[in-house]
């Protein structure tokens, strides 16, 4: 089977479903209140504030062919590259732009840490660490792939309808279309991982199905209630 095509097709279908939701379309058209935009931003921050730790885990389990790119990605997330600004810092600045004071930003960081703790303490659905690693890598790269396609659209509607400054939207601009190369490298890293750890085709298909049995973008950015509504509509 062509792993690259199968995985990218899954990313594409999840992204298409996400942008077709009533919630996303309402945000993009300006048909909601500032509270709705702020809730959306909070969910994005909660999802990605602990990304350096996630990428560090992926670097730890990376196959040799993908290790260098994942290392660069990890250093970039941490602000240890030439740009020198960590991605969590950009998200905290975004939170400040919608009115979060220092205490509010601390609560947001705590919520992100609690989410990471929940992920770590949830029962494991797989038999070995190699399956867990593939599950985490599939979802992490999915977000990178999706953001490389639509984060400019998100930044544009936040600028237009939430009146956010361009500087506060740097996290989205960084992940926009100019970052497609990173997304493609991430996709290749998934393929390299599967081949290096010799994960059988039926197991790969099972892990892909488990990872994307729900729309991960709707779940993380809009919440469980929106996901349940979308799943019910799809059914």
Model confidence over 104-161: pLDDT tens digits? 999 999 999 999 999 899 998 898 999 999 999 999 999 999 999 999 999 999 999 9
User: In this structure, what token pair is assigned to residue 56?
Assistant: 């560090």
What pTM was computed for the model? 0.93
Model confidence over 59-70: pLDDT tens digits? 999 999 999 999
Q: Which domains does the chain have, with CATH numbers?
A: 3-234 (1.20.910.10)
Cα separation, 115 vs 88, whole angstroms: 15
Q: What local confidence, expressed as pLDDT, does residue 227 receive? A: 63
Q: What local confidence, expressed as pLDDT, does residue 233 receive? A: 58
């Amino acid at each position: 089977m062509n792993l690259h095509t199968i995985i990218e097709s899954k990313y594409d279908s999840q992204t298409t479903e996400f942008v077709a939701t009533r919630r996303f379309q309402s945000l993009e058209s300006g048909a909601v209140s500032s509270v709705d935009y702020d809730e959306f931003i909070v969910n994005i921050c909660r999802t990605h504030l602990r990304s350096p730790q996630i990428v560090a885990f992926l670097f730890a389990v990376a196959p040799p062919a993908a290790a260098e790119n994942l290392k660069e990605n990890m250093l970039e997330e941490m602000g240890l590259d030439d740009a020198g600004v960590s991605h969590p810092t950009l998200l905290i600045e975004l939170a400040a732009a919608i009115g979060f004071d220092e205490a509010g930003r601390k609560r947001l960081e705590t919520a992100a840490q609690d989410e990471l703790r929940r992920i770590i303490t949830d029962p494991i659905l797989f038999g070995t660490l190699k399956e867990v690693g593939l599950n985490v890598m599939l979802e992490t790269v999915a977000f990178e792939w999706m953001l490389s396609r639509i984060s400019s659209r998100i930044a544009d509607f936040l600028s237009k309808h939430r009146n956010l400054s361009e500087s506060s939207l740097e996290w989205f601009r960084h992940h926009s279309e100019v970052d497609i190369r990173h997304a493609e490298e991430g996709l290749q890293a998934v393929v390299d991982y599967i081949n290096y750890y010799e994960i059988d085709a039926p197991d790969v298909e099972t892990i892909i199905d488990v990872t994307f049995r729900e729309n991960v973008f709707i779940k993380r950015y809009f919440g469980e209630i929106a996901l349940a509504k979308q799943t019910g509509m799809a059914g």
